[in-house]
Structure 1
Amino acid sequence: MALDLSKVKEREALPSRREPHWQRIRPGCFLGYRPSVREGAGTWIARAYDEDQRGYRLKALGDFGELPGRDRFAAAKKEAEAFVDLVESGGQTEEKVETVEDACRRYAKANPEADGRFKRHVYSDSIAKLKLAKVRRNHLKDWRQRLAEKPALVSRRKKGDRVIRPRAPSSINRDMAMLRAALNKILAPGAPDTEAAWQEALKPIRNADRQRTLYLDRNQRRALLANVAAEAEPFVRALCLLPLRPGAVASLTVADFDKRTSELSIGKDKSGKPRRILIPRAAAKLFAGQAKDKLPAAPLMMQANGKAWNKETWKKPIADAVIKAKLPDGATAYTLRHSTITDLVNGGLPLLTVAQISDTSAEMIERHYGHLSRHAAAEALAGLAL
C-alpha cells in the first residue's frame, strides 16, 4: 500500500530512521518525511531527478512547525514541487506573482521576520489564494477581523494547559504592516472610499502601543539569574547587561563581537540599520567567554544544541525562573530590556543617547536624533553591571 504523508496519523505512526519515508508526487518528484527522534514536528525533504546530472538532488524543507499538522503536507508539497520545477528547468525558473501568497513569499525573501508572520497569519488563511487582480477592501477587512479574533498564545508548554490571551492592538498592527508592505510592492493604492482601496482596510490602530510598566530592579534581576536554567543563563545575563531587544541578542554571531575593542556590531534589529556600540566590561567578559573556541559565523549566545536562541526557546526558561524567583507575573525577556533602559534614563543619560544605543523608535524625539559619542554611551552602560 502506497504511503500517504498527507494523513497526520499515518505520519505519526512512522518509525524514526535516518532515511526519510518517501512519497511519490509525480515522475521525478518525491516528498520525504523524517519523524523527529524526540517530541516535536518531523522534517520534510524534497527529492528531484536532475537529467543533466543523471541523479537525484535533495533539499531540506524544514518542519513547518508553525502550521497545524493537517496543513504541513500541503505546504511541504508546494515547496517540493517548486524545487523540482527549478531543477527541471536547469536551475532557472520564472517567478509568478499571481496571488496574495505569491506577493508575500517574494517580500519575505528579504525579510525573515515577515516570513514568520506570513506563515502564522497569511499562508494558512483563505486570503492566501486570492488573485491579486481581485483584491478588494472587503477581503482585507475580513482578514483583519479574523486576525483580531485569533487569540495570542502566551505559553507553548507541552505539559499543562495552553495559556492564551486576546491579541493586542500593537500585535495586530505589526502583522498588518507586513502584509501591507508586501502588497505595496505589487499593487497600487486604490481610489479612496472605494472597494478598490484595499489599503484602507489595513490602516493601523491608533494609540495601540502600550507602555511597558513592569520593572525589575537589580536584586530581582539577580534572583532571576540565580534561578534560570544554566543553559539560558548567559543569554539572560546579556539581556540584563545591555538594553537590547532579545531578538537582536539572539542574532549575534561571534564575528559581531570585537574582543580587542569591546565593541559590538548589531545588524539585525527593529530599525534594520546596523550599528556599533561600546559595551561595558561585564558584558565584554561575558561575550568573550561565549565566543571562545567558536567559528566566526556561530551564534554568540548558543543553546546546548548549537542553535541560536529564538522567541520560542527563551520563553520557557525565563518563565520558569520568574516563578522560582517569585517575581511579578508577566515578567518576560522584554521586561529586562525595559528595566535596563529605565536604569539608564534614571541614571541621567540623555534620552537621545538611550534611543541610539537601544534602537528605540521614539517619534517624540526622532526629529532631534543625531550622532552621539559611543564612549559616553559605554560609560552609562557600565552602570548596568549586576
Structure 2
Amino acid sequence: MGKRASSAIDTAAKRARLEPRRNPYWQGISGGRGGVSLGYRKAARGPGTWVAKLVIDKQRAEERLAPADDAGAVAGALPYPAAVSETLAWAKKQFAKIEAENSDRGASPTVRGVVEAYVKARKERHETAARDAESRLKKHVLADAKFADLPLAKLTARDVLSWRGRLPEKLAPSTVNRLLNDVRAALNGAAELHRRELPASLPGEIKAGTKALSVGDNARKQVLSDTQIKAALSAAAAVDDTGDFGRLILLLAATGARFSQVARLTVGDVQIARSRITVPVSRKGRAGKAVPKLAIPVGPDVIEHLRPAFDRGAEDPLLLHWVSRQIGPVEWERVERKPWKQASEALRLWDKARAKAELPADTMMTAFRHSSIVRGLKANLPVRLVAALHDTSIQMIEKHYSAYIVDASEELARRAILSVA
C-alpha cells in the first residue's frame, strides 16, 4: 500500500476525510506481503479505532487495539506513531504464541508425510495426471522405510543420495528424473511450509540430493530412424483400440510439435485441401499476444489416419481420449472422453507402445520432435526454417543439433567442390 495508505491514516485530519466502513483501511508496517499491518476502522459517528493484524504461514491473528486520537476521542486514544508501536509489540507476542502452538503439534514432518501430502494435493488439482506420480512415489519412496521415515529436520543430501543408490538399476535415467522431480517438489514444498521449524540448510540439501541425472545433451540419443518411427506408430495403434493414442503419436511424429501444442489442435486446424495442419504456437513467454499458427505440411496418409476425428465441429478438439474411474481393485470404468491436458496422461500407453516397438528403454515421446528437427536439417532445409517450423530459436537449434548442421553444411559445400580432373 505504501505511501498512499500511510498518508491516508497517519493524521486525524486525513482520517476525517475517509469514508466510514466496516473493513479497516490497512497499512503494512512490517514483513512485506502479509506480515504485520495496522488498520484503521472508520466509524459512522465519533472517533475511529486502531486494529492490529498478523499473517504468517497461512495463519492470521487480528485484534482491536485502542481508539484513534480523532476529534472527540476519549483520554488514552492513540496517535498514529503510538499505534504503530503498539501493533509491533502486539505482533511480537502473537508470533511467539503461534510458534509455540506449531511446536506443540508434534515432531518434524517426515519424508513419508510430505510425499503423501504432495500426492493428495496433486490429486486435488488433476487426479488423472497424478496417478503416475503416485505410483512411482509409492513404489520407490514410500516402500523404502529407511528413507520415508526420516524426519525432515535431519534430512541431508547424503540421505537422499543413499536412497537413490537403492533404486533398481533397470530404471531408465528419464524415469529416475521424473521421480526426482516429484520428490524435490514434495520436499521443497514442505521446507517452505515449515521453514521456521526446519534447518535453514535444508533447501540446499534437497537441491544437492535431487540433482537430475544426465540423459545426454546430445539430441542424437533421442533421434529415431524412419523405421523406428513407423514401428512406434504401429505399436501406438495396437495398444489402444480406440485409436485415440495412435492419433496423438501420429501427430507428434508428423508435426514435430510439443505435446502441449498438439493437445490444443482443433478439427479445423486440419486443412485437408492444402494437406497441412496449422499448429498453435507455444504459450511460453507470449501471454496476451496473438501469434499466428504454424502451417506444417503433412502427407495425405496422415490426413487419412485422422479422418475418424473429423466428425466434430471445426472448433472442437481434434484429439480426445477416454477418462476412466476405478470401480474395483483392478477394475476401471470409462466415464467420458476429454481432450489431452498433460503428457503424463499418456505415459502408460507410451510405455506399452515403446516396449512393443522395441525402442530403447529411455526413449521419450519428445524423441519425435528431435527426429523431426534432425530430418529437416538432413534434408538441407535452412536452419531458420527448421527453427520456425518447430516454434523454437535458431540458437537452440545450433546449440543442441550442431552435429547435424555440420553434416548438412558439408553436404551442401561438397556440391560446390572444384573439379580439377
Could you say whether these structures have the same fold, taking a TM-score greater than 0.5 normalized by the shorter chain as the test?
A: no
Larger radius of gyration: 2
TM-score by length of 2: 0.42
